[in-house]
Amino acid sequence: MFFAKSFSAKVLLLASGLIFFASTDQVEASQQPFSNWLENLRVEASNEGIREETLATALKGVNLIPRVVELDRKQPEFSLTFSQYIGRVVPDSRVKKAREKFVENRALLDEIADKFGVQPRFIVALWGIETDFGRVTGGFKLIPALVTMAYDGRRSKYFRKELINALKIIDGGHIRANDMVGSWAGAMGQCQFMPSSFLNFAIDFDGDGRKDIWSTKADVFGSAANYLSKSGWKSGQTWGRKVILPDDFDSSLANLKVKKTIKEWQSIGVRRGNGSDLPVRDLKASIVYTEGVGSSAYMIYDNFRTILKWNRSTYFAVAVGTLADRIVGD
């Protein structure tokens, strides 16, 4: 996945539900002739151990895609309130579909949960928000898209690394170059991993020799669970809950760096969203606002922080938790 800057209401909402934040960087495109640049890339990739036959196939006839540069430079910006964002990303229709997918895939999800300690509802929630359960995965061939982003110059260092990683994935036999499709920014598959995330977290759960996050649900779910597990997921905890803050609440306490026990939050007047007492659990939690002081507040646990490693957006993390809860509740 391509990470977004957190704690802002200025977001770019994609069809998958992933959010991007508009960049103000103004860096001129590469002045090096494309043919020279491409040859240098081939040398670098070869030095990274990628086979010549892989490079010949993956880079054959590759051209820059003007549309990718256009999308990167001229992304439409929306000022979405938290309520608007949740309404778009977690509508009732997606909740209904998520519940159906949860039941449909329960045996596989339970197997993966047993291995990785990640509750099935969170895997389904991420799957639904990222790609609408595999329906919207991006329509760009990844190698030309990443070549374009790497050559463009604005974020060339980052995307050059991702391009090399994508070539390594092809070289590993996990997918053919022509079949490697994703978003214009390089996120791919039903869990929308960037190539670096694929190399770090993708797994071959069904044991067929390929890590197929494009069409094999076992690998999609397993890879998502592996990502969360290796990022610090705690199986015995949930993510958080909406809370009501007392009128005299010290807003400086609403900070991910501030941790108190649930009992301590209860003692200063924090209550569940319905006004009832907080749960009696020996956990430390933090309070976060969705849009600054006075906005909706959530008491969050360590798993919320783990979701932020997937996508560094408060909106996104709350949306994942909200959908996960609604899958198994009202």
pTM of the model: 0.89
Q: Any idea which residue has 């938790």 for tokens? A: 321
Amino acid 5: pLDDT: 33
Strands across the sheet containing 284-289:
260-261, 284-289, 297-300, 240-244, 271-272
Strands (E), the chain: 10-13, 19-20, 78-79, 140-141, 181-182, 240-244, 260-261, 271-272, 284-289, 297-300
- Residue 169 reports pLDDT greater than 60: yes
Q: What percent of the chain has pLDDT above 90?
A: 85
Amino acid 3: pLDDT: 40
Amino acid 79: pLDDT: 74
Tokens representing residue 246 in the block: 């007392």
pLDDT, tens only, 48-58: 999 999 999 99
Where b means 16+ CB within 10 Å and e means fewer, 20-58 reads bbeeeeeeeeeeeeeeebbeebbeebeeeebeeebbeeb
Band (75; pLDDT cuts 50, 70, 90): low
Tokens representing residue 70 in the block: 């256009």
- Is the separation of the CB atoms in 193 and 182 below 8 Å? no
Amino acid 10: pLDDT: 37
Band (311; pLDDT cuts 50, 70, 90): very high
**Mean pLDDT to the nearest integer, 311-324:** 97
Amino acid 77: pLDDT: 57
- Residue 78 reports pLDDT greater than 90: no
Amino acid 126: pLDDT: 98
**Mean pLDDT to the nearest integer, 304-322:** 97
Amino acid 192: pLDDT: 97
- Residue 144 reports pLDDT greater than 70: yes
pLDDT, tens only, 235-264: 999 999 999 999 999 999 999 999 999 999
Amino acid 28: pLDDT: 42
Q: What percent of the chain has pLDDT above 70?
A: 89
Band (73; pLDDT cuts 50, 70, 90): confident
**Mean pLDDT to the nearest integer, 114-124:** 98
- Residue 143 reports pLDDT greater than 80: yes
Q: How far apart are CA 170 and CA 58, in angstroms?
A: 8
**Mean pLDDT to the nearest integer, 166-187:** 96
pLDDT, tens only, 18-44: 444 333 333 344 568 999 999 999 999
Q: What is the mean pLDDT of the chain?
A: 90
Amino acid 76: pLDDT: 56
Q: Report how far apart the first and last C-alpha atoms of the chain are (Å, whole number).
A: 29
